[in-house]
Structure 1
Amino acid sequence: MIPLRDNVPRTRPPLVTWTLIGLCTLVFLYEQLLPDRVLFEFLHIYGVAPARFTNPAHAAAVGYPEGGYAAFVTYMFVHGGWLHYLLNMWVLWIFADNVEEALGSLRFVLFYLICGVAAAGVHVLFNWSAPVPVIGASGAIAGVMGGYFRLFPKARVTTLIPIIFIPWIVELPAVVFLGIWFLMQLVSGLAGTASAGQAAAVAFWAHVGGFAAGLALVRVFLPPGCQFCFDPSVRRYDRE
């Protein structure tokens, strides 16, 4: 399922969302300039490889520098290919502007980063000895999706569902789209853990952790006395 647009209006430019997209774009373009060997090292230094933090002997043998916990933030701005980058930026563009407006710029920055850190933490927990680094904004974006799920239950998301070669475009309630998406990540994470016990190509547990963090924390980050609930029939924000 690919979201195409939602029906929640915004009343001011989403400056933080634009900045996040801009930073991810600059880092991704920089990656394209790196030789393969240098890029490999770059992804391992600035991504979160669980074994680097859970197995000191492995980290020393591979040659990781000491510490490196900043990677729990930097991994959110690193992507592994054009499709990875474009899909993440598109989903961020669809959902983040409204969450940013509801929380305010500073609160949204903190919310986004904390969700990303939580996503990486859950990924490490379920992939304890994996040597492959997790990279990408999708864990933090999953947190935004979790926040959107809770703040805008009445929103609707126009969705592209590819059926073999036939595109099916349907409008879904946000709670349905995001609920199905979350269940897909959870089931995929459980299936991967049960079958192989190894890190999957897609960091499903990071998505689960980010979404759960966003769902749990978004109300904490709302401005005092402000609880948004969008009603499409009046095209504005109402207080609950």
Structure 2
Amino acid sequence: MFVPLHDTNPLKRIDFQYVTVGLILLNVAIFVVFQTGWVIPLDEENAAAFAVIPAKLMEGSPDAGTVFASGAFMPERFTLITYMFLHGGWLHLIGNMLFLWVFGDNVEDAMGHLRFIMFFLMCGIFAAVVHAWMLPESELPLIGASGAVAGVIAAYFILHPKVKVWVLALWRIPIRITAAWALGIWILAQFASLLVETEENVAWWAHIGGLVAGATLILFMRRRGVILFDKTRGGA
């Protein structure tokens, strides 16, 4: 596998990727404040209340949800949003945010700020629904922005397949390849992982759901005049 570092693809329609940066800062802030134990520790039980648990989500009961010690009640369907902003550890967080940093700005550029927020959330929601639908009896909590980020990856792949991207191959070798190769390998790896035994703590179906959502939504949510499968290779 590879780690993305930088793409040579300048912004064309927006001055700055405010939403992309905002999402990264929000995810980091939530992790530092609630999940590291440094500020306001969030115990496992309360953390699970904000995660998507397929067995609970698929109950279909309007009363399904979590009652906190304070007496507050959160419906289970709200976890389709909250789960995206919790992560299982520093590596999980850094990996998702690095992909979002490298590829999110140009997808935001193609849509505009408001549409990109909607796009990100919709990809994350669909990813969780697909995960729950494929594993309806699972009681393992689903957390992380991976599904939403997978949607960003699919959109970037469709928008800019020829752009050059710097990546770390095998976590240590810097190489410069096209986005079609870099992201294509990542996308194929997600589908291939469904065919072999994999760790249960990796939500492959959420990744697939996010990819499908991103590839579909970019067709309708991009700005007028934005070309699909752009053949330019990006700036310097």
| TM-score tier after normalising by the smaller chain length | 0.7 to 0.9
The aligned residue for residue 221 of structure 1 is: 221
Displacement of 1:90 after TM fit? 1.0
Task: Please say if residues 111 and 222 of structure 2, whose CA atoms lie closer than 8 Å, have aligned partners that are also in contact.
Answer: yes
Using the TM superposition, name which of 25-34 and 207-216 deviates more: 25-34
AA partner of residue 43 (structure 1): A
**In structure 2, what is the Cα distance between the partners aligned to 1:220 and 1:94?**
22
> If the length of structure 2 is used for normalisation, what is the TM-score?
0.86
- Give the aligned CA root-mean-square deviation in angstroms: 2.6
Indicate the SS of the match to 1:224.
coil
1:30 to 27, 30, 33: 33
**In structure 1, what is the Cα distance between the partners aligned to 2:209 and 2:67?**
29
2:179 to 147, 159, 174: 174
Displacement of 1:222 after TM fit? 1.1
What residue ranges of structure 2 are gaps of 5+ in the alignment? Answer: none
**In structure 1, what is the Cα distance between the partners aligned to 2:29 and 2:131?**
25
Q: Deviations over 1:41-65 (max 9, x none)?
A: 23211110101122479x97x9796
Task: Please say if residues 67 and 74 of structure 2, whose CA atoms lie closer than 8 Å, have aligned partners that are also in contact.
Answer: no
**In structure 1, what is the Cα distance between the partners aligned to 2:81 and 2:74?**
16
1:81 aligns with 2:81: no
> If the length of structure 1 is used for normalisation, what is the TM-score?
0.84
AA partner of residue 84 (structure 2): M
The aligned residue for residue 8 of structure 2 is: 7
**In structure 2, what is the Cα distance between the partners aligned to 1:130 and 1:49?**
7
What residue ranges of structure 1 are gaps of 5+ in the alignment? Answer: none
Indicate the SS of the match to 1:100.
helix
Indicate the SS of the match to 1:28.
helix
Task: Please say if residues 77 and 136 of structure 1, whose CA atoms lie closer than 8 Å, have aligned partners that are also in contact.
Answer: yes
Task: Please say if residues 142 and 214 of structure 1, whose CA atoms lie closer than 8 Å, have aligned partners that are also in contact.
Answer: yes
Change (3 A) 1:230 1:93: farther
The aligned residue for residue 43 of structure 1 is: 47
Aligned length, in residue pairs:
224
Give the alignment of 1:49-198 within 5 angstroms.
Answer: 49-55=53-59, 67-162=75-170, 167-192=172-197
Indicate the SS of the match to 2:162.
coil
**In structure 1, what is the Cα distance between the partners aligned to 2:196 and 2:133?**
16
Identity of aligned residues (%): 38
**In structure 2, what is the Cα distance between the partners aligned to 1:54 and 1:118?**
14
